Amino acid sequence: MATKKQHQPGPVDTGGGAYIGGSVNTGGGDFVGRDKNITTGSTTNIQNIFAPVYTAIQQAVLPPQEKDDLTAEVKEIENAIVDGEVDEPWLARKLRALKKMAPDIAEVALAALGGPGAAAGAIVKKVAEKVQAEG
């Protein structure tokens, strides 16, 4: 009786992606072949994170132009997070600039972004915590 010869594949170069030689049953969960990119949260969740920041800006005793400038800075950060277009050096620069412009407003923003309830991604939390710790 002849035995069935098993096919043994040679080296597989996926360029870093996953290789599955058979079927996969995820039980309804995600199958991720490499990096899993997760959006930072819905626009509503991000808006909830930034709501206290905008409130702090409006309640601050500052000239209207400074409030407008701060609001624009924060909005730029918020939009980048919503769009998922945040890179660590850019965000760190933006948060440091905010900290120099208005330390009390930056404190609210950093607490919101780095807090446990934040829907922001890991990079955002990491940068917020780093900038907050910079004294």
Burial class (CB in 10 A: 0-12, 13-18, 19+), 120: buried
- pLDDT tens-digit readout, 29-72: 555 555 554 444 455 566 677 888 899 999 999 999 999 999 99
Find the angle CA(84)-CA(16)-CA(119) to the nearest 5 degrees.
25
Say whether pTM exceeds 0.75: no
Burial class (CB in 10 A: 0-12, 13-18, 19+), 82: buried
pLDDT score, position 42:
53
Q: Rounded mean pLDDT of 108-113?
A: 84
Question: Which residues are within 8 A (CB) of 94 and not within 5 positions of it... i.e. 6 or more apart?
Answer: 73, 76, 77
Closest CA to 92 of 68, 123, 47: 123
Percentage above 70 pLDDT, the chain: 58
Per-domain residue ranges for the chain? 61-133
pLDDT score, position 81:
82
In terms of pLDDT, which residue wins out, 77 or 113?
A: 77
pLDDT score, position 38:
45
**Alpha-carbon span 109 to 87, nearest angstrom:** 17
Please check the confidence at residue 5 and state whether its pLDDT lies above 70.
no
Q: How confident is the model at residue 24 (pLDDT cuts 50, 70, 90)?
A: low
